[in-house]
Amino acid sequence: MSSVARAPGRVNLIGDHTDYTGGLVLPMAIDRETTITFTASPHVELTSRDFDGHVRFDLPIASASTLQPSWGRYVAGVAAAMSERSMAPIGFSGTVATTVPIGGGLSSSAALEVAAALAFGIEADLATIAAVCRRAEHLATSVPCGIMDQLTSTAGVKDHALLIDCHSLDITPIRIPDGVSVWVVPVSARTLDGSEYPMRVAQCAAAEREIGPLRSADLAGTNNIVDRVIRARARHVVSENLRVRAFAAALAANDLHDVGKIMYEGHHSLSRDFETSTPAMDAAVEHFARIPGVHGARMTGGGFGGCLVILADDDAPIAAGADSDGHSDAMRVRAADGASLDTPLS
């Protein structure tokens, strides 16, 4: 009898490029997931319904970053990250399938990592599983990501977004108000591997060398940064942390006007100060802002392409509006529970 490990993707409502400096984020796990159906095995053997090739490796794995086919690197990265912490991964043989769009900014890689960690038999609290999977991403790719994606995939709560302090890892679930839908609109496919993401992480580190931790800095402090570009990057991070707090309060109070206003401000900050948006994403935000019933829209996730997230009344004509502008695969997503493992009854 097979076991099934499931892990959801995520969409971030507000708080981008704040996690790797220990700031605030407000994502939700979504009702799109990656599943690994497996039985225990001495090796790791995995086929995918969505990708070509067959992944096979022995445990312990020496190097995750060179494995072929390349999607297997996320799985191998988890095995390597568990071994680093002396958590012996158990081999498995199985099939992976996903309903998370790949390379769209909805954390398909984090979902694969978290599902793999469960299949490897990891036994740890949700934050530790997320930390292992974050490390897996570092071992598998050149993306020095923060913890948001993996922690959202492990800790998601149905019908709620998660206010996460990425320093303390405290999580406060905030209910998505009734009558409001969250939509995701893919604008352009991309991968963060090979993007300017590592450069942004380095620029934030440069800002912190000058003014100390960005998570506790204020906007006045960022004005002291000498270099214009580093100053702009820091201004985004510090103002984004303020926006996450304000957004969380407005969402809890069902103040959708404020929620939307903060989303647009967040988008402009990413576009102007952090320079992770694209002209197509800026145009798409403007397009959706004009649709009746839309409260707010912004790019979501690492950027340089990817998706928009939109908050709108349930009956707002998002899909119809999307069609007329060429964004035909708009999807309504619901906040979902985090990862789980179904084992057969013996």
Q: 176 - beta bridge partners?
A: none
Q: State which residue, 20 or 38, has the beta carbon closest to ligand GLA.
A: 20
Minimum Å distance from CB 75 to ligand GLA?
A: 17
Q: State which residue, 3 or 269, has the beta carbon closest to ligand GLA.
A: 269
Cβ–Cβ < 8 Å for 31, 279: no
Q: State which residue, 44 or 311, has the beta carbon closest to ligand GLA.
A: 311
CA dist., res. 12 & res. 263, Å (int): 11
Catalytic residue among 149, 193, 255, 337: 149
Burial 50-62 (b: 16+ CB within 10 A, else e): ebeeebebebebe
Minimum Å distance from CB 146 to ligand GLA?
A: 3
Minimum Å distance from CB 323 to ligand GLA?
A: 28
**The dihedral of CA 211, 172, 102, 279: what is its sign?**
negative
Chain residues binding ligand GLA by CB under 6 A are: 12, 16-17, 19-20, 145-146, 148-149, 301-302
Cβ–Cβ < 8 Å for 109, 51: no
Minimum Å distance from CB 195 to ligand GLA?
A: 10
CA dist., res. 200 & res. 20, Å (int): 10
CA dist., res. 108 & res. 122, Å (int): 20
Cβ–Cβ < 8 Å for 329, 23: no
Is 314 in the active site? no
Q: State which residue, 149 or 275, has the beta carbon closest to ligand GLA.
A: 149
- Give the active site residues: 149
